[in-house]
Structure 1
């Protein structure tokens, strides 16, 4: 089955995306709660999401955080999110995180757009390394990382506490440029 990835685009989050961002998070909250805990916590209401998006604009200006949205081109419906975080300009390197709306899962949209985004941010920011930290039981995200050219670097034991309180191991995947 072929899929037209050109019906989607990625773009940097803007303040005016608050409502669609809020809607996406709320719809997928149960799935996101453990591993996007900060985002979920800061988007509990539309007003909180608007404030959060405003704060994000400052972080973008400070070159500390780059959140990208995946949207359907025709409707501008928000269907996914990729963030560039934990940026260390001394190396320079950054961590990537991503999720997609449950209705669009398994279609390769994240893999396709993550590949394009990696090319864009490496060119724009001259990153020398990108990193993904993924719970070892998250097989889909591991497959995305591997398809995007990341290599398994190791497992850090008891590296993350989920929102539900579990202390879990994280697999680290890196990509060098």
Structure 2
């Protein structure tokens, strides 16, 4: 078992993809996040427990600062997504349910509704997948989602995550229906295979 204290782990707090700046939450982000949540409530409500009621700016800022602390403590790594050219807040992703002994992570994500359908979440999750394996030394990365959430499932499948199984009647969904939870995962071997495929595709 790895006894190295997670809080002492050093790694970058931000990185860039083709269109996105992806960084840890910072004090002051609450106003941008709150605006995106309010804009997207109807879009988020079917899938996100935290989106059932519109938060105040103060409540969102408290949540952002808690996420900032959790990031520094290495207990949860939320990342905020910003479009590089406009600095517009796009949404949020991150590495959650962390087990540093493996290490293992679960990627979650949401996008503000006005920016959905533009490939930002796929781009962000691809970047976080690379970050998890190449920077954090991940041995397993998961994406879990409601079986009915086709958009989330397509992100995982597009990036080469394997559907390992469906947990039937796994939990109560936000609409109080029993949820079948899809478990997608990637290991270092899967990651290397996907990376080699992308290199071959790019060279053709």
Same fold (TM over 0.5): yes
Cα distance, 1:78 vs. partner?
Answer: 0.5
- Specify the alignment match of 2:141 in structure 1: 130
Asked whether 1:152 is paired with 2:167, we answer no
Runs of 4+ deviating beyond 4 Å: none
Residue 28 in 1 paired to residue 40 in 2? Answer: yes
Name 2:18's counterpart in structure 1.
6
Over 3 Å counting, the alpha-carbon distance change for 1:117 and 1:42 in structure 2 is farther
Structure of larger gyration radius: 2
Instruction: Quote the RMSD (CA, aligned, Å).
Output: 1.9
Residue in 1 that maps onto 2:110 = 99
Q: Deviations over 1:11-53 (max 9, x none)?
A: 2221221110111111112222243213x36971111111111
Name which of 49, 60, 65 aligns with 1:49: 60
Q: 2:105 aligns to what SS in structure 1? A: strand
Task: Give the one of 163, 171, 178 matched to 1:167.
Answer: 178
Q: Equivalents in 2 of 1:17, 1:133: separation in Å? A: 26
Distance in 2 (CA, whole Å) between partners of 1:9 and 1:162 is: 32
Tell me how many residue pairs correspond in the alignment.
172
Give, in angstroms, the shift of residue 171 of structure 1.
Answer: 0.8
TM-score normalised by the chain length of structure 1:
0.88
**Quick one: distance in 1 between partners of 2:185 and 2:176?**
27
TM-score under structure 2 normalisation? 0.77
Unaligned runs of 5+ in 1: none
Are the equivalent residues in 1 in contact too, given 2:41–2:52 (CA < 8 A)? no
SS at structure 1 position matched to 2:107: strand
1:65 aligns with 2:76: yes
Stretches of structure 2 lacking an aligned partner (at least 5 in a row): 1-16, 189-204
Q: Which residue of 1 aligns with 2:29?
A: 17
In structure 2, C-alpha distance between the alignment counterparts of 1:78 and 1:160, rounded to whole Å = 31
